[in-house]
Amino acid sequence: MDRLFLRLARRALLATAVAALVALTVRAGHAEPATAAADRLVRDLAERTWTLLHRTDLDQRHRLDQLVGLLAANTDVPLLSRLALGRHWQRLSAPQQDRYEQLFGQVVMGTLARRLDQYVSGAAGTVEEHLQFVASEPVGKDDVLVRTKVRTQQGDVVDVDWRLRGRAQPVILDLVIEGASLLVTQRSEFATVIERSDVDGLLAELSARAGPADS
């Protein structure tokens, strides 16, 4: 009787283990790959940006204001701002950190919005005619690089790579235009300002640069 009970118990345990393995396999099979999620976000952002910058019921100022909000909502601005400041982040007090993050979002997202406006505003056709998706590939442990080519109004082709982090809901971490990283460029620029006039000088410069999109 005891042997029969042990055999039945072992079979039940084996069946449970197999069922659990099958369930995990099915769930993994239905999970969206990180590269696909990142690719989908960039495509969606491109479509929404194209539509927004072609709205005739908004003047340039309001188009850019809305685009800044759209970009900020899909970008990890707090993390990007800290990475751009590097080791100097720890030198800021808590109020300075809050102020810096706010100014960083206004200045960097504003600059990016104006650059996109230069590429897109007035361009005819569809977004697919001006944006080509080349590839999406994992980078490092948690990131995905979405490689695209942008055709400007003048007919030039610009390489634009989007670095995103996160699987289910990826966010933009960096933008590389013609090999120039937004993150690396800002880090170098900020380091130069801090070396010249300390962190207070950086906050003052960012504050002076923050303002209306059309200024």
* Cα of 49 vs its chain's centroid, Å: 14
Average pLDDT value for the chain: 82
Rounded to 10 degrees, the C-alpha dihedral 57/59/64/69 comes to -50
Nearest of 40, 5, 18 to residue 136 by alpha carbon: 40
The tens digit of pLDDT for each residue in 111-152 reads 889 888 887 777 788 899 889 999 999 998 889 999 999 888
In the chain, which ranges are E strands? 131-139, 143-151, 157-165, 171-177, 180-181
Confidence at residue 211, expressed as pLDDT on a 0 to 100 scale: 62
pLDDT band, very low/low/confident/very high, at 166 (cuts 50, 70, 90): confident
Token pair 């993994």: residue: 28
Asked whether 151 and 133 are in contact (CB, 8 A), the reply is no
Sheet containing 143-151, strands listed edge to edge, beginning at the edge strand earlier in sequence: 131-139, 143-151, 157-165, 171-177, 180-181
Closest among 116, 122, 102 to 64, alpha carbons compared: 116
Mean pLDDT of 75-89: 93
Identify the pLDDT of residue 134. 96
Instruction: State what percent of residues in the chain have pLDDT above 90.
Output: 60
Give long-range contacts, CB 8 A cutoff, 24+ apart: 154-162. Answer: 158/119, 162/38, 162/42
Neighbour tally for 145: CB within 10 Å: 18
Q: In 3D, which of 184, 154, 143, 162 has the Cα closest to residue 46?
A: 162
| pLDDT given at position 45 | 94
> Which three-class secondary structure state does DSSP give residue 169?
coil
Query: What pLDDT sits at residue 32?
Result: 60
pLDDT tens per residue, range 13-64: 333 333 333 333 333 444 467 899 999 999 999 999 999 988 889 998 999 9
pTM for this one? 0.76
pLDDT band at 168 (very low <50, low <70, confident <90, very high): confident
Quick one: what percent of the chain has pLDDT higher than 70? 82
Residue 46 has a pLDDT of: 93
